[in-house]
Amino acid sequence: MTKTNEDINTIPLLPYTQESKYRLWSFLCSGKQLLFCLLFSLGFCLTVSAQETEPKEEDVLQEFQDAERPGNRFDIFFNSPDRYKINSAYDWLDIVKVYLSNSQKTDDSIAISQYKLMQAQIYNDLGDYDKSIALANEIYGNKDSLDITSKKIVLEVLDNNYANLQLYDKQIEIRKEKREVGITDNVAFYDIYSNLGLYRKARNQYIMEVKPTIADNDAFGLAKYHSKVGNYLRLDNSAPTAISELKKAKAYLDVFENDISKQKTEQELFDSELLKAEIEGNIGKCHVLLGEYEEAIPLLENSIEVLKTSSRNAHRSEIVENTLNLADANMQLERFLSAKRSLDIQFDNITTLQNIKRNSLLAEFYDKVENYKNAATFYKRNERIKDSMNQKQSSLIKQQLVTIVANEDLENSQRLIDEQKKINEQARSEMREKDEQINFVFISLIFTLMGFAGLVYAYLKSIKNQRLIAEQKHIIENALVEKDSLLKEIHHRVKNNLQMVSSLLSLQTKNTRSKAAIVALEEGKSRVKAMALIHQKLYQNDDLSVIEMQGYIESLINSVQSVYKKGGHNISITIDAEGTELDIDRAIPFGLILNELVSNSFKYAFPENDENGKIYIHLSKNGEQGYFEYTDNGVGLPEDAEERTHSSMGIRLMNRLVNQLQSKLNIDRESEGVRFWFNFS
């Protein structure tokens, strides 16, 4: 049996001599060779198997080259979040340079700008921020010729570059430019505060600015919000509270992914997977802070694998952080080989703080394996890096903080000044109006004293009464508007609740194997939809007291067709209900009756072919009297229809609903197909 360094505790202890050291080292080396051979063979078999079974992934670079126009290539490049999954950034850079050269030969200014913008993004992805900034500034120098999409992309590239170079004053200028262009209404600083280590201030500003903008039913937005808050808490060394927030974010993300009532795009699903990986990675890092290493390792490993599919720089930094925390967890569990594998990974872009942490872990590893010379080397490296940081970054960070705070205070002061100007202007206007009123009253008093006292008194009293009437009218109108709004909100919520019931019935249908139960659930779902449609029509209508039935019947038939997808699409349906309106007390029973009739026609009336099928629906109301008729030219009712009337839930339901309308359901079985009709008041 082959042993690794993780199994070192199971080897019998030898006297600690030079010979015992040599024998132990020889044993471990031979074990490593055998283990390496086994792992290589297993990996080769898995690779061959994966190549045979996995489908070929989409080659975004090939799609980019197959596109006919520069604009199409531009869209493919920036709309493909996993563009580096198959081809590296260097492959993309070579291809883009060729297209840029061709555009320069033909002097196509728009194409040149688009290809340079792609180059700027690739250099940013590669970590060559200086080149990226130079290209982006060159492009933005001709901003008048850029469309809003290109402006937004180039400003985002500059923003990201300055953030990575820690040039926060430049980053603030770019964000102000975004506001002036109209890309954003607000200049936020919370991420800059986070980069400077002010995590509590970053969290407070993020909560203040972002929380009010998220709707209560936006599950994905709430997941992003709680994920960000949880990460700020983690960075502020509040790991237990951070885990609570991050689990809340994961719960909201599960709600978003399991919401079958909302269609999701491929991009939304991809973003959801990346967000879940971020959340799991941050939870794993919290467990490392709390010393819960076994819980942390699977979360960190899964997060790393998923984030590798992203081309965003922020996710690359997350991969580095997760890898270092994974190494730390394995180190504390004395799994030295696993820790060393993580530390040996060479990353293209690694920050100074990440480099310090990596050197510390390497030094700790060599201490554990008693290679003190290498351990001392990494300790010395860290000392040099820290000395350099203390000398160069202290004044820079202070300068950045002063710049940010000054800008923020300046903006707040300017905002207060503008508000004060508005208040002063309004006060001056009111004073002028009061002066004019005083002058008018004074002149009126002079004339009243000259002989029109009685007339002026009556006039003033009339004005007072008119004002009171106007105020009361205004109050009544506001009350009516508020009442209508509340009624619409009630109908909207009832409709949403009924849709939730329909969704639950759909979920139950998928988990049910009994055909009879599935049919019953589908019928129940159809009836719930019919009632939900009533409330939807009510809150969409200006008049909340009645429903226009022509549109309702059309919507109801479309809803029933969506439930019974197997048929009903070739049937000719004629609806004669134009101008007929019913209140909600009559509309709900009528909708359920019509739902039963249309459902029965789709299911039973045309068992062989519905190409010549016809359905006729007539509804009219003249004053207090109404009439309803429904016919189809299908196979008609069965011979034992009278006996089934007492056992069929559909017929019994229709009879009870017609009774609610104070009428009686009539059925004609002698003509072709079937005919139902009744009068109602």
Does one domain contain both 35 and 163?
A: no
Question: Does residue 599 lie within any of the structural domains?
Answer: yes
How far is residue 261's CA from residue 308's CA, in Å, rounded to a whole number? 30
181 CB-contact burial (10 Å; exposed 0-12 / middle 13-18 / buried 19+): middle
Whole-number pLDDT of residue 25: 42
Concatenated DSSP letters of 256-320: HHH-TTS---HHHHHHHHHHHHHHHHHHHHHHHHTT-HHHHHHHHHHHHHHHTT---HHHHHHHH
How far is residue 484's CA from residue 462's CA, in Å, rounded to a whole number? 32
Q: Are 654 and 596 in contact (CB under 8 A)?
A: yes
Does one domain contain both 66 and 46?
A: no
Question: Does residue 496 lie within any of the structural domains?
Answer: no
Whole-number pLDDT of residue 288: 93
Whole-number pLDDT of residue 618: 93
Which of 187, 210, 242 is a domain's end point?
A: 187
Question: Does residue 192 lie within any of the structural domains?
Answer: no
Does one domain contain both 45 and 179?
A: no
Does one domain contain both 37 and 80?
A: no
Closest CA to 130 of 115, 120, 142: 120
| C-alpha angle 412-415-421 in degrees, rounded to nearest 5 | 140
Question: Does residue 425 lie within any of the structural domains?
Answer: no
| Residues forming a β-bridge with 546 | 583
Whole-number pLDDT of residue 5: 42
- How many independent structural domains does the chain possess? 3
Question: Does residue 497 lie within any of the structural domains?
Answer: no
Domain of 100, CATH number, reads 1.25.40
Closest CA to 592 of 644, 523, 648: 523
Does one domain contain both 49 and 128?
A: no
By residue range, what is the domain housing residue 31? 5-53
Does one domain contain both 94 and 159?
A: yes
Residue 639 Cα distances to 174, 248, 597, 601, 644, angstroms? 80, 60, 18, 17, 10
Concatenated DSSP letters of 305-364: HHHTT---HHHHHHHHHHHHHHHHHHHHTT-HHHHHHHHTPPPSS--HHHHHHHHHHHHH
Which of 169, 187, 205 is a domain's end point?
A: 187
Q: Are 132 and 121 in contact (CB under 8 A)?
A: yes
Does one domain contain both 42 and 183?
A: no
H/E element, 629:
strand 625-632
Q: Are 268 and 218 in contact (CB under 8 A)?
A: no
Could you tell me whether strands 581-583 and 546-548 are parallel, antiparallel, or unpaired per DSSP bridges?
antiparallel
Does one domain contain both 532 and 630?
A: yes
Does one domain contain both 17 and 119?
A: no
- Structure-block tokens of residue 274: 């990346």
How far is residue 452's CA from residue 445's CA, in Å, rounded to a whole number? 9
Could you tell me whether strands 625-632 and 572-576 are parallel, antiparallel, or unpaired per DSSP bridges?
unpaired
The percentage of residues in the chain with a pLDDT greater than 70, rounded to a whole number, is 79
| Residues forming a β-bridge with 677 | 629, 666
Does one domain contain both 20 and 150?
A: no
Whole-number pLDDT of residue 131: 87
Closest CA to 635 of 663, 671, 611, 664: 671
- Point out the residues of the chain with pLDDT beneath 50: 1-29, 31-32, 34-37, 45-46, 48-55, 391-392, 394, 398, 409-410, 412-413, 416
Question: Does residue 150 lie within any of the structural domains?
Answer: yes
Domain of 599, CATH number, reads 3.30.565.10
Whole-number pLDDT of residue 566: 53
Question: Does residue 113 lie within any of the structural domains?
Answer: yes
Does one domain contain both 617 and 532?
A: yes
How far is residue 341's CA from residue 297's CA, in Å, rounded to a whole number? 14
Question: Does residue 487 lie within any of the structural domains?
Answer: no
How far is residue 27's CA from residue 7's CA, in Å, rounded to a whole number? 12
Whole-number pLDDT of residue 641: 60
Q: Are 678 and 661 in contact (CB under 8 A)?
A: yes
Does one domain contain both 675 and 528?
A: yes
Which of 187, 219, 248 is a domain's end point?
A: 187
pLDDT tens digits for range 243-257: 999 999 999 999 998
